[in-house]
């Protein structure tokens, strides 16, 4: 696959070895009402036309995991702060803030890999979802610290797995949307 030097698409990130290209060529003609300045051709001129339809496919799940596995780990670490007892509040906030910085770093990396777009794409949706869940973990830790809420281990596990399940459901919906 050849890309020109000014292209913002980085060929090493395309995964050209896993790219399947299906193309379709069609010859045709198109009639223009202009002779483009050539008076010898008359008024209505027929020019040849070549139409190329290019359909690209690739194994997308491995690329998806490579790009977003860091986000999933960051959310897992953030959610694991639920399992820490109340007396370890500094460690809780350390996990949450570290997870937030990890997610932000992943956002910068993935934004560098894709061309700039005004559309809200899959990467933006999954990053936003992760930021929201990490923020919810921070609010939960603040409320737990402020009101000195002591939950049982069973309740902590239920909340931990509930957060992970909700995140996976919403991430799945964001991926399929």
Kindly list the domain boundaries of the chain, sorted by start residue. Answer: 11-58, 60-176
Question: What pLDDT does residue 88 have?
Answer: 93
CA distances from 89 to 18, 60, 68 (A): 46, 40, 28
CATH 2.60.40 fits 60-176, yes or no: no
Mean pLDDT of 10-21: 56
Q: What is the pLDDT of residues 100-126, one digit of tens each?
A: 999 999 999 999 988 888 889 999 999
Question: What pLDDT does residue 16 have?
Answer: 53
Q: What is the pLDDT of residues 69-104, one digit of tens each?
A: 999 999 999 999 999 999 999 999 999 999 999 999
Q: Is the C-alpha dihedral spanning 78, 84, 87, 88 positive or negative?
A: negative
Of 56-65, 79-88, 125-134, 141-150, give the lowest mean pLDDT range. 56-65
């Amino acid at each position: 696959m050849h890309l020109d030097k000014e292209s913002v698409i980085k060929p090493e990130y395309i995964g050209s070895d896993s790219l399947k290209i299906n193309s379709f060529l069609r010859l045709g003609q198109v009639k223009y009402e202009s002779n483009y300045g050539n008076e010898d051709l008359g008024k209505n001129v027929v020019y040849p036309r070549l139409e190329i339809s290019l359909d690209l496919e690739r194994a997308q799940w491995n690329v998806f995991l490579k790009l977003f596995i860091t986000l999933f780990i960051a959310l897992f670490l953030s959610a694991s702060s639920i399992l820490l007892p109340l007396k370890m509040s500094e460690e809780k906030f350390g996990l949450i803030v570290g997870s937030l910085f990890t997610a932000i770093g992943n956002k910068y990396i993935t934004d560098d890999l894709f061309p700039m777009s005004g559309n809200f794409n899959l990467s933006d949706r999954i990053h936003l979802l992760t930021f929201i869940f990490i923020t919810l973990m921070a609010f939960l830790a603040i409320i737990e610290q402020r009101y000195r809420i002591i939950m049982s281990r069973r309740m902590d596990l239920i909340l931990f797995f509930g957060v992970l399940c909700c995140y996976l459901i919403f991430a799945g919906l964001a991926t399929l949307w």
